[in-house]
A and B are shown apart, each in its own frame.
Chain A
Amino acid sequence: MAKKIPQINASSMADISFLLLIFFLVTTSMDVNQGLARRLPAPIPPDQKVEDKDINKRNLLVVKINSANQLMVQGQLTDVKQLREKAKEFIKNENDADYYPKLVEEDFGAPIGVIRYTKDHVISVQNDVDTQYQAYLDVQNELVAAYNELRDECAHKYFHKGYNELDEDQQKQVQKVYPQKISEAEPKNYGGN
């Protein structure tokens, strides 16, 4: 007579796999790959002479960070939190002020049409060798945020949607109105060690 094999009690299996599940949940580091995307300028060929681009002073916003992580915008000591507003004001130049970049009229195609924008503005970021990475990134972050906010405003105004909801061509149109122009100088030693 064949002996009947007794069934194995599998009710604890669930507990074991739960334990495993929790172990993996706890140990795996959720290493999200996020970052501030930037684009470096192409290198200058050694045989090419560096042209002194004559940038009109009003088109230039100089942001300097010293070794103590202090911020200077257009010669004024500024807090990082104010940088975004200052940058936005500078890039927009709504009131056609003569100390902000020159406004140029251009046709951006429907539905934006002909509007005036600050074509030649440049934001120049200069930092010290001893500047902390976090301070530098804060500045970069605020400047990128300023551009993102302006583009979003523009998208809402002309397309009645957020910038992220636009399709690629529309995004390019908006990008043309607010071209990202952040220039970085070679690091120098600004006062104090």
Chain B
Amino acid sequence: MAKIRRNEKREMPALNTSSLPDIIFMLLFFFMSVTSMKEVTYKVQFKNPQATELTKLEKKSLVRYIYVGTPTAEFRKQYGAETRIQLDDAFAETKEIGEYIVNERSSMKESDQGLMTVSIKADKETKMGVIADIKQELRRAYALKISYAATQRTSY
């Protein structure tokens, strides 16, 4: 018959923590894969403007970026402090945007070409003259789907 032993001292078994590192590693890999690294090294610096009616950009492979801002400190000597445009990894002139878009589009699958979106990541202090030039250039290249990159506004 089972006897209930109450008053005997029983030691608590040590908790087996050998699987803890695995769990943490899983978390680590999850975060490593989920967080998006920035696409290129920025040669221009910009602060995103703020807005409220934002939509998320779906399908990263269909998005091309145009960065607009002032050159970062290391390039300032060479390029000055005027607003510059960056395409991929290099500075570019407004005129080169059309060619860039056409090239990028032709490297896409044919079924995806109509879905290409151009995301304009510009500094909030940029003068509209520059943006307007870019827009004209995009129109000419038939890249009509655009998105003004912005961050969510939290307060007015």
Contact A129/B50 with A24-B35, A34-B150, A37-B147 known, Cβ cut-off 8 Å: no
Q: Do A127 and B55 touch (CB < 8 A)?
A: no
Q: Which of B31, B49, B128, B156 contacts A187 (CB 8 A)?
A: B128
Q: Judging by beta carbons under 8 Å apart, are B128 and A129 in contact?
A: yes
In the complex, A130 Cα to B35 Cα: how many Å? 36
User: What's the least CB distance linking B13 to chain A, in Å?
Assistant: 16
Chain A residue numbers with a CB within 8 Å of B132 are: 127, 129, 186-187
| Contacts beyond the supplied A28-B31, A129-B132: 4 A-B pairs with Cβ under 8 Å | A28-B35, A34-B57, A37-B55, A133-B49
8 Å CB contact of B129 from A21, A25, A129, A148: A129
Which residues from 135 to 150 on chain B have a C-beta closer than 8 Å to any C-beta of chain A? 135, 138-140, 142-150
Q: How many A-B residue pairs have CB under 8 A?
A: 153
Which positions in A face B, CB cutoff 8 Å?
10-11, 13-14, 16-18, 20-21, 24-25, 28-43, 81, 127-134, 136-138, 140-141, 144-145, 148, 186-187
Are B56 and A133 touching (Cβ within 8 A)?
no
B32 at the interface (CB under 8 A from A): yes
CB of B127 within 8 A of CB of A30, answer no
Which residue in A14, A16, A35, A41 is a CB contact (below 8 Å) of B55? A35
- Cβ contacts B105-117/A at 8 Å (1 or 0 each): 0000000000001
CB of B20 closer than 8 Å to a CB of A: yes
Whole-angstrom distance between the alpha carbons of A130 and B128 in the complex? Answer: 6
| Residues of B in contact, count (CB < 8 Å) | 54
- Is B35 a contact partner of A30 (Cβ separation < 8 A)? yes
Q: Is the CB of B54 within 8 A of A35?
A: yes
Selected contact of B57 from candidates A33, A130, A144, CB within 8 Å:
A33
Q: How far is the CA of A141 from the CA of B124 in the complex (A)?
A: 14
Verify B147–A35 contact, CB threshold 8 A: yes
A24 to chain B, nearest CB (A): 5
| Residues in B neighbouring A129, C-beta threshold 8 A | 127-129, 132
Q: In angstroms, how far is the closest chain B Cβ from the Cβ of A75?
A: 21
Cα A191 to Cα B21 in complex, Å, equals 66
Least CB separation from B38: chain A residue: A31
Tell me whether A36 and B54 are in contact (CB under 8 A): yes
Decide if B54 touches A13 in the complex (CB within 8 Å): no
Contact assessment for A17 and B24 in the assembled complex, using a CB-CB cutoff below 8 Å: yes
A37 CA to B122 CA, complexed, in Å = 14
Contacts of A33 in B (CB 8 A): 36, 56-57, 60, 63, 119, 149
